């Protein structure tokens, strides 16, 4: 139960970030999916094939979310599907719909710059 409450707190803070700074939230969520792919699935005790498929899916999702335009939208949709899909698998994932709603909110925000483009713009300003 404690794990669900911690997840819920992180997801609510992420929701607030989505409302305050949608682009920063999208970057955070893209990196979040990449980190989840590494730590949750590679280190976890998942059967090998399932683990490899999950790693590939989450890595693709994270990289797409960090992109711009339709690619970012596709990544957000993939993230929503993933979060809702794994919700019934354990008690620890019961807060996932909150994060899925945050991704849904970001789906309708503009995604004009990818992470590399944003970094170039930030450092070009000096």
For 3-49, the three-class secondary structure string (H helix, E strand, C coil) is: HHHHHHHHHHHHHHHHHHCHHHHHHHHHHHHHHHHHHHHHCCCCCHH
Mean pLDDT of 1-13: 84
- What number of H helices and E strands is found in the chain? 6, 0
45 pLDDT higher than 70: no
Which tens digit of pLDDT belongs to each residue from 61-110?
999 999 999 999 999 999 999 999 888 877 888 899 999 999 999 999 99
* List of residues 6+ apart from 102 with CB closer than 8 A: 11, 14, 15, 18, 25, 29
Mean pLDDT of 25-34: 90
The two most distant CA atoms of the chain are separated, in Å, by: 48
Which tens digit of pLDDT belongs to each residue from 52-71?
888 899 999 999 999 999 99
Give the pLDDT confidence score for residue 8 in this predicted structure.
Answer: 87
39 pLDDT higher than 70: no
40 pLDDT higher than 70: no
Q: What is the pTM of this model?
A: 0.80
> From residue 3, how far is each of 72, 81, 90, 93, 95 by CA, in Å?
29, 21, 11, 9, 10
């Amino acid at each position: 139960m404690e794990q669900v409450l911690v997840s819920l707190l992180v997801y609510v803070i992420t929701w607030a970030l989505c409302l305050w700074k949608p682009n920063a939230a999208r970057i955070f969520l893209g990196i979040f999916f990449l980190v989840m792919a590494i730590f949750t699935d590679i280190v976890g005790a998942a059967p090998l094939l399932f683990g490899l498929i999950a790693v590939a899916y989450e890595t693709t999702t994270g990289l797409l979310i960090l992109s711009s335009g339709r690619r970012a939208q596709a990544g957000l949709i993939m993230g929503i599907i993933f979060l809702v899909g794994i919700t019934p698998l354990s008690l620890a994932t019961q807060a996932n719909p909150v994060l899925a709603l945050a991704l849904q909110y970001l789906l309708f925000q503009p995604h004009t710059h990818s992470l590399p483009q944003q970094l170039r713009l930030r450092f070009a300003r000096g």
